[in-house]
């Protein structure tokens, strides 16, 4: 088992442990957190089927009592109703501020757990146990959480750091390949932003990744954590350098929203968004190294789209882009590639956005 620590100036630090088959070690760390012998586990029906009982058994062996909150599976449950369900259960079972909340699941459960833990009695110790690859390389550390409102995705949330992120890569054995691919897009993005060797390594290892070689997935997780860590440690509240982690996301969010969050999965949209960002950078003469061919190869190998679906018409894409929550009165802010492992921030004023965007759509 290996340990990393994410240190912030504003919040207390977040310990990240990473290993293969580490349930016992995780529980030992949970016990060391606070005096309370009562915790809550938040998970969903799919993950519970595989991993809830082993965790409960280990907690019980160590004399710890757990309240269980098992939600239905799906992004559509990342909402205020689920937060109400979680808070009501914490209250009914009498959890106090020393009782850890353990979120066991993918990004949806990590986001719900983070939000609930941050507001219940003004803050419970939060333990994130990510079970999807996306949550391992992205959603389980850095302190962002969120729920969806009728008006859009992740519109309510807080910054709240977990005290412990415990990543057991052995659980990836049951993760569907499509879900692994969605998480890998974020790892590819980390390479594209900050580490060309990492991007190339993923490119050449794609067959072993698809075969779910656990040691290899652990290696990727370690590298991705390291890269994301360097951005969030410096800019915890996302006012500056952390924005680079959004490569492909502004275009991607427009694609997701235009397809009503049904036509394209977030991972598919971000992959396409990175291709669009390469095109956009080229169109303004800023792209020094074009790696679209390698990126297209990775996405294709993962079964992800490399062309914008024809039913998403360009006008509705532009409309959804105009609702981007990071837009301000000066216009739109895009993260664009300069070369492999290097990105820059590019502002586009509202009167130039149509041309800029339509050029990027021409994949
Ligand atoms: P998810 O949580 O819906 O998980 C994907 C699917 O995989 C679900 O059906 C889940 O039940 C299943 N699953 C998870 N682990 C499994 C396992 N080990 N075996 C079998 N099935 C398993 O989706 P996700 O892709 O993990 O996360 C997406 C969410 O994360 C989005 O809501 C996104 O907004 C959020 N997110 C948050 C951050 C952040 O920093 N807070 C970063 C990125 C994404
Ligand atoms: N997932 C991007 C961030 O955490 O800032």
Per-residue pLDDT of 108-139, as tens digits, reads: 999 999 999 999 999 999 999 999 999 999 99
What CATH code is carried by the domain that includes residue 64?
Answer: 3.40.50.1970
Give the residue from 148, 173, 198 where a domain finishes.
Answer: 173
Dmax (CA) of the chain: 64
Predicted confidence band at 167 (pLDDT cuts at 50, 70, 90)?
very high
Is 166's pLDDT higher than 90?
yes
pLDDT in tens, 211-236: 999 999 999 999 999 999 999 999 99
Q: Which residues contact 311 (CB under 8 A, 6 or more apart)?
A: 263
**Nearest Cα residue to 355 out of 314, 307, 320, 326:** 314
Cβ-contact 273, 290 below 8 angstroms: no
Residue 344 is predicted with a pLDDT of 98
Structural domain boundaries, residue 230? 181-360
Q: What is the mean pLDDT of the chain?
A: 95
143 within some domain: yes
4 within some domain: no
Task: Give φ, ψ of 114 to 5 degrees.
Answer: -65, -45
Mean pLDDT along residues 33-47: 92
9 within some domain: no
Residue owning the nearest CA to atom 2 of ligand 2: 245
298 within some domain: yes
Instruction: Provide the domain count of the chain.
Output: 2
153 and 201 belong to one structural domain: no
C-alpha 131 to ligand 1 mean position (Å): 8
Is 144's pLDDT higher than 90?
yes
**Rounded Cα–Cα distance for residues 308 and 287 (Å):** 21
Q: From residue 243, give the alpha-carbon distance in Å to each of 55, 154, 300.
A: 36, 16, 27
Tokens representing residue 26 in the block: 């995780």
Predicted confidence band at 159 (pLDDT cuts at 50, 70, 90)?
very high
227 and 326 belong to one structural domain: yes
Residue 312 is predicted with a pLDDT of 93
pLDDT in tens, 323-338: 776 777 788 999 999 9
Predicted confidence band at 80 (pLDDT cuts at 50, 70, 90)?
very high
C-alpha 157 to ligand 1 mean position (Å): 17
Residue 9 is predicted with a pLDDT of 78
246 CA closest ligand 2 atom index: 2
Instruction: Give alpha helix (H) positions in 23-99.
Output: 23-33, 45-61, 80-92
200 and 153 belong to one structural domain: no
Predicted confidence band at 12 (pLDDT cuts at 50, 70, 90)?
confident
CB distance 68 to ligand 1 below 6 Å:
no
C-alpha 68 to ligand 2 mean position (Å): 28
pLDDT in tens, 269-308: 999 999 999 999 999 999 999 999 999 999 999 999 999 9
7 within some domain: no
73 within some domain: yes
Give the residue from 120, 145, 173 where a domain finishes.
Answer: 173
C-alpha 57 to ligand 2 mean position (Å): 33
245 CA closest ligand 2 atom index: 2
156 and 189 belong to one structural domain: no
Place of tokens 């850890």: 100
238 CA closest ligand 2 atom index: 5
Q: Which residues contact 134 (CB under 8 A, 6 or more apart)?
A: 106, 107, 179, 182, 183, 186, 267
- Ligand 2 site residues, Cβ closer than 6 angstroms: 138, 142, 144, 238, 242, 245
Residue 26 is predicted with a pLDDT of 96
Residue owning the nearest CA to atom 10 of ligand 1: 106
156 and 36 belong to one structural domain: yes
164 and 297 belong to one structural domain: no
Q: What H or E segment, with its residue span, contains residue 257?
A: helix 249-258
142 CA closest ligand 2 atom index: 4
153 and 271 belong to one structural domain: no
Of the bound ligands, which one is closest to the alpha carbon of residue 155? 1
Of the bound ligands, which one is closest to the alpha carbon of residue 244? 2
137 and 226 belong to one structural domain: no
User: The pTM is what?
Assistant: 0.96
189 and 168 belong to one structural domain: no
Strands 147-149 and 152-156 come out as antiparallel
Q: Which region holds residue 143: left if phi is over 0, alpha if psi is between -120 and 50, else beta?
A: left
pLDDT in tens, 334-360: 999 999 999 999 999 999 999 999 999
139 and 166 belong to one structural domain: yes
55 within some domain: yes
Q: Counting beta carbons within 10 angstroms of the beta carbon of residue 329, is it exposed (0 to 12), middle (13 to 18) or buried (19 or more)?
A: exposed
165 and 213 belong to one structural domain: no
Give the residue from 173, 206, 240 where a domain finishes.
Answer: 173
DSSP 8-state symbol, 330? T
**Rounded Cα–Cα distance for residues 309 and 263 (Å):** 9
Strands 126-130 and 101-105 come out as parallel
84 within some domain: yes
More confident residue, 12 or 26: 26
Is 202's pLDDT higher than 90?
yes
C-alpha 340 to ligand 1 mean position (Å): 27
What CATH code is carried by the domain that includes residue 288?
Answer: 1.20.1090.10
Which of 8-17, 47-56, 262-271, 337-346 has the lowest average pLDDT? 8-17
185 and 154 belong to one structural domain: no
């Amino acid at each position: 088992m290996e340990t990393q620590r994410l240190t912030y100036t504003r919040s207390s630090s977040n310990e990240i442990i990473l290993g293969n088959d580490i349930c016992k070690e995780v529980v030992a760390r949970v016990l060391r957190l606070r005096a309370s012998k009562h915790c809550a586990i938040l998970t969903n029906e799919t993950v519970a089927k595989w991993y809830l009982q082993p965790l409960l058994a280990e907690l019980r062996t160590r004399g710890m009592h757990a309240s269980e909150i098992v939600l239905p599976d799906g992004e559509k449950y990342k909402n205020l109703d689920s937060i109400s369900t979680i808070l009501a259960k914490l209250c009914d079972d009498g959890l106090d501020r020393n009782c850890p909340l353990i979120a066991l699941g993918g990004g949806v459960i990590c986001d719900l757990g983070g939000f609930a833990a941050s507001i219940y009695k003004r803050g419970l110790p939060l333990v994130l146990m990510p079970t999807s690859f996306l949550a391992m390389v992205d959603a389980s550390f850095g302190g962002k959480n969120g729920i969806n409102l009728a008006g859009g995705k992740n519109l309510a949330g807080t910054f709240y750091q977990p005290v412990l992120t415990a990543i057991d890569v052995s659980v990836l054995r049951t993760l569907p390949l499509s879900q692994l691919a969605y998480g890998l897009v974020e790892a590819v993005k980390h390479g594209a932003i900050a580490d060309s060797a990492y991007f190339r390594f993923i490119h050449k290892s794609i067959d072993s990744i698809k075969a779910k070689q656990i040691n290899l997935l652990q290696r990727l997780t370690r590298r991705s954590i390291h890269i994301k860590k360097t951005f969030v440690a410096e800019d915890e509240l996302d006012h500056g350098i952390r924005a680079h982690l959004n490569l492909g996301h502004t275009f991607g969010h427009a694609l997701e929203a235009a397809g009503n969050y049904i036509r394209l999965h977030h991972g598919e949209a971000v992959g396409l968004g990175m291709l669009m960002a390469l095109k956009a950078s080229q169109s303004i003469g800023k792209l020094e190294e074009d790696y679209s061919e390698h990126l297209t190869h990775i996405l294709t190998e993962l079964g992800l789209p490399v062309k914008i679906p024809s039913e998403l018409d360009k006008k509705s894409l532009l409309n959804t882009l105009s609702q981007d929550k990071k837009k301000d009165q000066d216009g739109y802010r895009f993260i664009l590639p300069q070369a492999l492992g290097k990105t820059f921030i590019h502002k586009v004023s509202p009167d130039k956005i149509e041309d800029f965007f339509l050029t990027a759509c021409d994949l």
